[in-house]
Amino acid sequence: MRSLLTLLLFVAGIARGEQVACTIHATEDGGKISRHLYGHFAEHLGRCVYDGIWVGEDSDIPNKNGVRTDIIDALKAIKIPNLRWPGGCFADDYHWRDGIGPVEERPKRINIHWGQEVETNAFGTHEFLNLCEELGAEPYLAGNVGSGTPQELRDWVEYITYDGDSELANLRRSHGREKPWKLKYLGVGNENWGCGGDMRPEYYADLYRRYAMFCRDFSGNELYRVACGPSGFDKNWNQVVMQRAHRQMQGYSLHYYTLAAPWSDKRPATGFDEEAWFSILRDSLQMRRAIHEAEDAMDPVDPDKRIGLIVDEWGTWYRGEPGTPGYALYQQNTLRDALVAGLTLHIFHENNERVVMANLAQTVNVLQALILTDGPKMALTPTYHVLDLFKVHHDAKRLPVDVGAVDYKYRDQKIPAISVSASTKEAGVIDVSIVNTHAREAVSVSFDLDGATAKEVTSKVLNAEELDAHNTFDEPGRLQPKAFDGARIVDGDVKVDMPPRSIVVIALRLD
C-alpha cells in the first residue's frame, strides 16, 4: 500500500512539474570530452593520505604495497585518469628528497599548513608514482616554488624521468626503481598568491619563467608545465601572468570552491534546509564565470588555444564534522554534492575547447571526497557515484544540446532547473546525463534527436527523498544509483520524467 501511495505521489508530481524540450544534435562534433576532466587530488592534509590512501605494509587493513586495496579497487572502477599530489598548500613546503629512500630513515617534518601535524614522509615519490601505475592514472606533480628552488624542482624531474647514467638516475635505481617513470603534468607552484608564497602576479610570472626554463624533458619524456592561476575571480592575476609568461606554459590552473558562505562561517555539510540547498547549487554555477574570466585573459595571447585551462582544485567546502579538527577538512558528502558534481562536470564539457583537465578536491576523507574511511570501514560517497555514472563521457565526442528554458525558483532568485550533456564514443550509442536541481518539483524532459532515431533506452537514477541523504559506515549503500524506468521512447522522441533533486544517465541505442 505504501509503495502504491509513493508511486501515485510521484506521478502527481510529474503532472504538476514543468516540461522542457531539448534537442541533441547527433551528427555534430562538439569536440572531445577529455577523460582528464575527471581527475583527482590527494594532499598531505587531514586523513587523505595517511589513514585514507596509505596504511603501510604492516597494517591489518588489506593493502598492496601499503595502499589500501579497497581504495585501489574503488578508483580503478571509475577509471581514474590522473592524480594530483602532494598538494595543495603542502606542495610549497614539500622537499622531495625527504620522501625517498628507506622509510625508517626519512626525516619527520612539521606540516605547517595543516595543523602542524608531524609528516613522516612514509608516502613519497616512489609510493605515489607506483600507485599511479597501479591505477593506470597519469601523475600530476605540484612543484615547490614557495620555499624551494629551480634546482630542486629540476632535480626532481631528472630523478623521476632520466634513463641514463647520472647521479640522480642512479640514486633512483638504488631505491629500487630501475626504469624511469613517465611524468607529463608538472604544476610549477600552487596558490602562489596565497599559501604558496603570498606573491604578486608580476613576481610569480617572473618566477614561473625561471622555474619552467630549468624543468627539462629527459629521455623522451615531455613535460606539460602548468602555471599557477587564480582562486575564482581575479582578473588582474589572469592578465598579468598570461601576458608575462604565456610562451613558457602549456597549461594554466584555476581553483574554485563552492562555499555559499564567508570563509569564517562555512555551512554544515548535513542538516540543511532548501535555502542552503539552493544557494550551494547556485554558487556552483559560478564555475562558468571563473572559466570565462580566465579565457578572457588567455584568448588574446593564445587565440589558437594551445594552452589548456586546468581546474586543478574544485568542489564544495563546508564546516568540518563535529568532533574532528578543523584543519583536517573532513566533511560528509550528500546528494547535494552529487548534483554539484554533475553541474560542474557539465560546465567542463561545454568548455572543452579550453578546459582540458580538472581535479576534484579531494580523493579520500577531505572536502568533497569520493571515499570516506574509518579504520577498516569504507563508504563511497554520492559524488563517487556521479563520477562512476559519468565515466561514459570519458574521451567521448561531445554532442551539442539545446536545452529549453525552465527555472528552479527559490524566493526571489532562480537557476536553471535542468542541465544536460550528451556524447558518443560507441557507434550507434548516445549517452546523456541530466541533472534536475529542483528540490521539490519533477520535470518532464523530451529530447529530439536531430540526425538520429532512438530505438532503445536504458537508464539509471541517483536521487533520494532527503536533501542531505548520504552514506555512512553503518549504511554505506544507502544512496547509490539504481535502475530507472522513467525514460522511454515516444513517437521517435525520448521522454525522461526527472524526479526532483536527481541525476539520471541514459544510454540511447540508435536505429
CA distance 167 to 250: 29
- The grid coordinates listed for 166 are 647520472
Residue 78: its H or E element: none
CB 196 within 8 A of CB 91: yes
Outline where DSSP puts E strands in 326-399.
355-361, 371-374, 377-380, 396-399
Torsion sign (Cα): 191, 196, 197, 203: negative
Active site residue 191: yes
Active site residue 313: yes
- The grid coordinates listed for 212 are 619552467
List the catalytic residue out of 191, 293, 295, 350. Answer: 191
DSSP class per residue in 168-221: HHHHHHHTT--SPPP--EEEE-S-TTTTTT---HHHHHHHHHHHHHH----TT-
To the nearest 10°, the Cα dihedral for 38, 39, 44, 45?
-20
CB 355 within 8 A of CB 348: yes
CA distance 254 to 289: 12
Q: Cell 589548456: give the residue.
A: 308
List the catalytic residue out of 158, 295, 313, 441. Answer: 313
The set of catalytic residues is 191, 313
